[in-house]
Amino acid sequence: MTTTRKTTTKLASVFLIVAMLFGMLCVAGTVTAGAASNDKVKLYSASPYFTKYGMTTYEVYIQTKDNAADQKVYIHYNYLNGEEWRDQEAEYFTTLNDGSKIWKAFFTSFNTKYCIKYVADGVTYWDNNNGNDYTYGNSIGSAPIISERNGYQYPYMGFTVNALLQNYAYHKNVFVRYTTDGWNSYSDVAMSYSATTDNGTERWTATLPIGRAEFTGEGFHYAICYQVNGQEYWANYFGADYDRNYHINQ
């Protein structure tokens, strides 16, 4: 009887060790797969486009770096807690100077929890924010700098611009370039540091000295320049520039 118990205990110990080793291998495999997928697909930027009654529609841009012939990009999102996750296919939008592609998608959710699914030549890759998924606070991904959407403004005393940027170095210069006459002329306004977000990016802000008449005119546009480490990065809505319609609709 004692021998049987000892044998049973040893077998249980062996099974436990094997199970632990198998679990460690599975975790290691997951981490490796995630690292590989991030080389091919990344969140570029995201911003709330419309919000009402607790529901938010997001405008999302995804960056892919791949030469696969057949490429499809999806936002994989949770519409509401307790429901199955859904896929919203993104459309090709533009190609950046480095050859990477930008894809664009809109999705609507009460939960605002999502990740990115990329299918290239039949192989599926994921960007799930290192296993944390993306949420309302993840506005900037691989983009160097973006303009944040604010609520609609009535600029009697000035128009506020907020930017989110990657902290590439301590010393940097950030400014808004704007026009009220369709770029026949323009002015630059320096931005100042405001805060560091939870994910390490920085928020900068500036107030443009314009009134309501200039703001509502057809000639008002702006872009944001970020100078750091001898490089210059522009946030200009992929060449379209930002205007008075770039705000959160409510």
Q: DSSP strand E in 23-158: where?
A: 41-52, 55-64, 71-78, 86-89, 91-95, 101-109, 113-120, 123-127, 145-147, 150-151
Tokens representing residue 60 in the block: 């999302």
CA 207 to chain centre: 25
Range from 24-28, 34-38, 189-193 that averages highest in pLDDT: 189-193
Which domains are seen in the chain, by residue range?
A: 41-127 (2.60.40.2440), 145-248 (2.60.40.2440)
Q: Which among 91, 142, 145, 82 is positioned nearest to 113, based on CA atoms?
A: 82
Q: For the segment 151-165, what is each residue's pLDDT rounded down to a tens digit? A: 888 877 789 999 999
Q: Which pLDDT belongs to residue 22?
A: 38
What's the farthest any 2 CA atoms get from each other in the chain?
Answer: 96
Q: What is d(CA 120, CA 198) in angstroms, rounded to the nearest whole number?
A: 32
**Percent of the chain scored above 70 by pLDDT?**
85
Core vs surface per residue 154-175: b (16+ CB within 10 A) or e: ebeeebebbbbbbeeeeebebb
DSSP state of 134: B
Residue found by looking up tokens 């009697």 in the block:
156
Q: What is d(CA 229, CA 233) in angstroms, rounded to the nearest whole number?
A: 11
Mean pLDDT of 68-86: 95
Contact between 200 and 165 (Cβ < 8 Å): no
Q: For the segment 168-196, what is each residue's pLDDT rounded down to a tens digit? A: 999 999 999 999 999 999 999 999 999 99
